Amino acid sequence: MSKRNSKSKSNAERLEQLRTRVMIEKEGVGSISSSEFPYHSSNRHQDIDYIKEFIKKFRVKIIRKEQYDMEFDLIGVDTAIANALRRIMIAEVPTMAIEKVYIYNNTSIVQDEVLAHRLDMNTIVFKIEHECTFNPKAREGETDPQKLYIGHNLLSDSLIWIPKGDQEEQYASCPIRPVHNDILIAQMRPGQKIKLEAHCEKGIGKDHAKWSPVATASYRLMPEIILKKEITGDLADKFAACFTKGVVEVENRYGKHCANPDCKQLDYLPIKCQYCKKDFCAEHSKPIEHNCNEAPSGDGERVPICPLCNTPVPVKRGEDPNVRMDQHIANGCRPPAKTTSTKPFNACSFGKCKERVAVRLLCSGCGKNYCIKHRLGPDHMCDKVKIDNKVNNFSSIITSRSSPIKAWVGKMFK
pLDDT for res 193: 92
Tens digit of pLDDT for each residue in 214-251? Answer: 666 777 777 778 888 888 777 887 888 888 777 788 77
β-pairing verdict for 70-75 and 59-65: antiparallel
- Give the Å distances, CA to CA, from 265 to 85, 165, 246, 274: 43, 66, 16, 20
Does the predicted model carry a pTM greater than 0.85?
no
pLDDT for res 345: 63
pLDDT for res 149: 92
> Residues of the chain whose pLDDT is less than 50?
38-39, 42, 122-123, 299-300, 339, 343, 391, 393-402, 405, 408-409, 412
pLDDT for res 248: 81
| Domain annotation for the chain: domains and CATH numbers | 3-56 (no CATH), 95-203 (2.170.120.12), 253-302 (4.10.1110.10), 383-412 (no CATH)
Q: For residue 395, how many C-alpha atoms fall within 13 Å in the half-sphere facing its CB?
A: 12
pLDDT for res 409: 46
Tens digit of pLDDT for each residue in 190-217? Answer: 989 999 888 888 888 888 877 877 666 7
